Amino acid sequence: MEGNLKLEQVGLISDLMQGEELTKKLHNLMFSSSSSTSHETKLVLIDKILVSYEKALKKLKWEANMGEEDTKITISKMMDSPCSFTNESPRGEVLDQEIKHKNVSKKRKTMDSWTKQMKVCSGTVLDGSLGDGYNWRKYGQKDILGAKFPRGYYRCTHRHAQGCLATKQVQKSDEESTYEITYKGRHTCIQASHAKKAFPSKSKTCMSENKHHNHQKNKAQEEKIEQPHETTFTFGPEFEVKIDLETKEDIFPSFFFSSPSIGLETMIENHFTETFSPAFLSPSTSESNIFCLSPCNFGSSGLGLSVQTSESDITDVVSATTSVNNSPIANLDDLDLFFDNVDFDTDFPINTPEYFTL
């Protein structure tokens, strides 16, 4: 048994080292002066990297099922991480049980939580209700040791009415335009306004703006994940995928489009990490990790990426994601709202900042 474990560990290290090596190769290709390297070559390298990590993760998963109890818990957290590259169901029942166990633990650090960082345009303020379509009530604020700004504590407005235990913490980072938002727990409430807030129409936006007298609440926001511990895959000069390696519950890798004119990053962030998360994408469901936007789906036309995302493509992915979701509000009605607001056949609203105005 122990011998087998060591063999597995050797293989694991080998796979990880291979992944590292391939990543270095890719990095060199990306930044070498030679422009002869084809896009396909880079994609092949990326595929190899993903395969290496997938193999490593499978081995970890095997160890998790065979190992000691503590090991299982540790691994279950790892498998719950978005850094899982596997497209298959990444966790078995045992691991799910471990996660449930984790969630009921009274220990703070084992709470079901996931973090995202948001970069906000100048003047934008994230209050309790803005940003993710849920209604939040602030219940506390605390000065955090070493942090320049206090941390705000929010809980779901429907905590008492519907017993929703979702909370979030908003920490403004030292870098003034960045907020780190940590979600804890999942929404069990039904928020009628959720989808519309997540995809506000312009008229809705205006109504919202009129409602809030505080000028700070009336500004557009732009999101950008800047995870502190992340793997970044760069698919050319304008396209990066950043995957948080530390935050155990973050749902999706972030897709970065460096072109300043493109708001697609915001689009994806808003629509896939906010509309469908955190409640829709239950972090404890294995399929949450399935969501993969292959770079191939973003048909590249030179430097200018055109979004080839078809409704059917996304429907397939999202339906797979939500079909096993435990969240009571994970229903296709929200997806309908999503698609109602996105015209995939005509202009993708990447150049309409108002679309993202909250």
Partner DNA sequence: GGTATTTGACCTAA
Partner DNA sequence: TTAGGTCAAATACC
Block residue for tokens 């030179």: 302
Which range touches DNA (CB under 7 A), out of 103-111, 219-227, 295-303, 316-324? Answer: 103-111
The single residue among 34, 35, 70, 106 that binds DNA, judged by CB under 7 A, is 106
264 φ, ψ to 5°?
A: -60, -35
Please report, as residue ranges, which positions from 175 to 194 form the binding site for DNA (by CB under 7 A). 184
Residue 239, both tokens: 């396209």
Sheet containing 136-142: give its strands across: 113-119, 178-184, 167-172, 151-156, 136-142
Closer to DNA at the Cβ: 135 or 285? 135
Cα separation, 114 vs 34, in Å, equals 40
The single residue among 6, 24, 100, 142 that binds DNA, judged by CB under 7 A, is 142
Closer to DNA at the Cβ: 53 or 153? 153
Residue 80 Cβ vs DNA, minimum distance, rounded to whole Å: 17
**CA distances for 261 relative to 58, 139, 221, 265, 354, angstroms:** 40, 38, 15, 11, 14
Block residue for tokens 């789906």: 297
Residue 104 Cβ vs DNA, minimum distance, rounded to whole Å: 12
User: Does residue 163 touch DNA according to CB under 7 A?
Assistant: no
The answer to whether residues 166 and 186 touch, using CB atoms and an 8 Å cutoff, is yes
Amino acid identity for residue 126 in this structure? L
β-strands 178-184, 230-234 pairing: unpaired
Residue 293, both tokens: 């936007």
The single residue among 76, 169, 275, 325 that binds DNA, judged by CB under 7 A, is 169
Query: 256: part of which helix (H) or strand (E)?
Result: strand 254-257
The single residue among 33, 36, 214, 261 that binds DNA, judged by CB under 7 A, is 214
Considering CB under 7 A, how many residues would be counted as binding DNA? 29
Residue 110 Cβ vs DNA, minimum distance, rounded to whole Å: 6
Block residue for tokens 């229903």: 331
Residue 161 Cβ vs DNA, minimum distance, rounded to whole Å: 10
The single residue among 146, 203, 302, 347 that binds DNA, judged by CB under 7 A, is 146
Residue 73 Cβ vs DNA, minimum distance, rounded to whole Å: 12
Reduced DSSP (H G I as helix, E B as strand, rest coil) percent helix, strand, coil of the chain, to 5? 45, 15, 40
Cα separation, 149 vs 142, in Å, equals 9
Residue 217 Cβ vs DNA, minimum distance, rounded to whole Å: 9
Name 116's bridge partners: 181
The single residue among 141, 216, 319, 331 that binds DNA, judged by CB under 7 A, is 141
Cα separation, 216 vs 83, in Å, equals 35
Which range touches DNA (CB under 7 A), out of 45-53, 90-98, 148-156, 244-252? Answer: 148-156
The single residue among 27, 151, 196, 224 that binds DNA, judged by CB under 7 A, is 151
Residue 246 Cβ vs DNA, minimum distance, rounded to whole Å: 15
The single residue among 7, 89, 139, 353 that binds DNA, judged by CB under 7 A, is 139
Question: SS3 for 21?
Answer: helix
User: Does residue 138 touch DNA according to CB under 7 A?
Assistant: yes
User: Does residue 35 touch DNA according to CB under 7 A?
Assistant: no
User: Does residue 144 touch DNA according to CB under 7 A?
Assistant: yes
Cα separation, 292 vs 314, in Å, equals 10
User: Could you list the residues that contact DNA (CB under 7 A)?
Assistant: 106-110, 127-129, 135, 137-146, 151-153, 155, 157, 167, 169, 184, 213-214
